[in-house]
Structure 1
Amino acid sequence: MTSKHLRIGSIAPDFEADTTEGPIKFHEWAGDSWVMFFSHPGDFTPVCTTEVADISHRAPDFKARNVKVIGISVDVLSDHYEWIGDIIDFGNLVRPTYVDFPIIADPKREIAKLYDMIDDDPAALACEDREQYTLRTVFILDPKHVIRATLLYPASVGRDFGEIIRLVDSLQTTDKYKVDTPAGWKKGDDVVIPHSLSDEEARKRFPNYKAHNPYLRTTPLTERVASETSKEDATCSGNGYAASN
């Protein structure tokens, strides 16, 4: 397996893998759900332990958004099983913790290379006993297995999964209503009307919109907007990808 230079808009490659919840075929496992596919550098490491505990605590938030979660590292399956016990012990310090999503064992690095998750930093590889490991990568996939967002963090920086949930909220909102979201947007905030939409059409679809200048218009999402949007052809979203929720 080799990387296909995956980008936003690419179809996520399918694969078969052994996981903590048994063997899977990726696309079959994903079904018609959104997916957060993330990699972590290694089991029994401090930052990764805090990350997986946080993801576990946010399980209801992902489920409410029809998002399946799956992780991967280059560790073997037996290490994953043992490490999960440590994650639960740490997470239980905050609230009851259950790691109820699969973690892929990829010791041959085939899937990690397919998704370009491997750290190729020569300085890191020059260290004694240092092997290639997975960086902190995130792929957000829609129900058609299209890559809608990617994130890449260095090993030293733990991710904010609340921000990743905000990202999913934005993608699902822009798909459904054919709008864009401004800086710092959160679910329930006003949205941005795409610049490509004429003022006349904007007035029809978003009667309560506010024009800040000729190209920046914001609007609340009301029940009327939802009703009008549902009547239109929803084959394309405002950002050009197929509407998928």
Structure 2
Amino acid sequence: MINLGSTFPNFEADTTVGKIKFHDWLGDSWGILFSHPSDFTPVCTTELSRVLQLIKEFEQRKTKVIALSCDSVESHLGWIKDIQSYSGGGDDSSFSYPIIADESRSLAVELGMLDPVEKDSKGMPLTCRAVFIVDPSKKLRLSFLYPATTGRNFDEILRVLDSLQLTDTKKVATPVDWKVGKQCMILPTVPDPEAKELFPQGFETVSVPSNKGYIRKVLP
């Protein structure tokens, strides 16, 4: 397993767009690597279709997306037409993001993505539904692990990406259920005089029984 804040492995892999070296492929963009258990399966098809529908949202956030499973490149290429069809985009020959073939499971092992419950016809473990968000400095910033039976919410993945990108540039944290355009919390490490300089539009301090004044809401 790789820890938050650690440099993400600069792996080489075969993909639907040829061989890549991860850091070179990422360049100066943010990146999302997400795994799925198997090609030509129902939940996985809905997920990769959803990513296809959201690709412009990721591009607006300067974020590249790449998928992964233990299937071959040949399998991925055959499955792509089903993904395109299910997404409602037809079966055009182009596809907006690569899919990694990890037949040896070397990446799945390195990144802790194997699901001990889900196995293929040969009894080999499959990849779970993992999500890794990597920033332009190649540091791991967020990870999720879902079981095979639970499809992911990619609107939530966009939401946490927005939070990461905002909190990298402002001295704020995003509260529960936060969305773009909503109030954030000023970091507790920022004293009030500095907060007044950073947020001249003003901020709201919420009264609580401790009277510590640490809950300060602001529109960044």
**Which residue is 1:236 aligned to?**
none
Give me the whole-angstrom Cα distance separating, in 1, the residues matched to 2:134 and 2:28.
Answer: 10
Aligned length: 212
Instruction: Give structure 2 stretches of 5+ with no counterpart.
Output: 208-212
**Which residue is 2:206 aligned to?**
212
Query: Could you tell me the TM-score, scaled by structure 1's length?
Result: 0.83
Is 1:45 the counterpart of 2:45? The answer is no
Give the letter aligned to residue 67 of structure 1: T
Helix, strand or coil at the partner of 1:23: strand
What root-mean-square deviation, in Å, do the aligned CA atoms of Structure 1 and Structure 2 show?
A: 1.5
Helix, strand or coil at the partner of 1:177: coil
Pick aligned residue for 2:5 from 6, 9, 12: 9
Query: Could you tell me the TM-score, scaled by structure 2's length?
Result: 0.92
The verdict on how the C-alpha distance between 1:46 and 1:128 changes in structure 2, with shifts beyond 3 A counting, is: closer
Give me the whole-angstrom Cα distance separating, in 1, the residues matched to 2:34 and 2:219.
Answer: 33
Instruction: Give structure 1 stretches of 5+ with no counterpart.
Output: 222-245
Give the letter aligned to residue 188 of structure 1: G
Report the Cα offset of residue 120 of structure 1.
2.4
Report the Cα offset of residue 196 of structure 1.
1.0
Report the Cα offset of residue 178 of structure 1.
2.0
The percentage of counterpart residues that share the same residue type is 43
Give the letter aligned to residue 210 of structure 1: E
Report the Cα offset of residue 130 of structure 1.
3.0
Q: Which runs of 4+ in 1 moved over 4 A?
A: 95-98
Question: What CA deviation, in whole Å up to 9, does each residue of 1:9-52 have, x standing for no partner?
Answer: 11101111110011101100001100000000000000000000
Give me the whole-angstrom Cα distance separating, in 2, the residues matched to 1:181 and 1:30.
Answer: 26
The verdict on how the C-alpha distance between 1:203 and 1:71 changes in structure 2, with shifts beyond 3 A counting, is: same
Question: What CA deviation, in whole Å up to 9, does each residue of 1:92-124 have, x standing for no partner?
Answer: 2xx557631010001000111111111124xx5
**Which residue is 2:137 aligned to?**
144
Give the letter aligned to residue 159 of structure 2: R
Helix, strand or coil at the partner of 1:84: helix
Is 1:25 the counterpart of 2:21? The answer is yes
Higher share of residues assigned strand: 2
Please say which of residues 178-187 and 46-55 is displaced more in the overlay: 178-187
Give me the whole-angstrom Cα distance separating, in 2, the residues matched to 1:28 and 1:129.
Answer: 34
Give the letter aligned to residue 148 of structure 2: A
The verdict on how the C-alpha distance between 1:96 and 1:189 changes in structure 2, with shifts beyond 3 A counting, is: farther
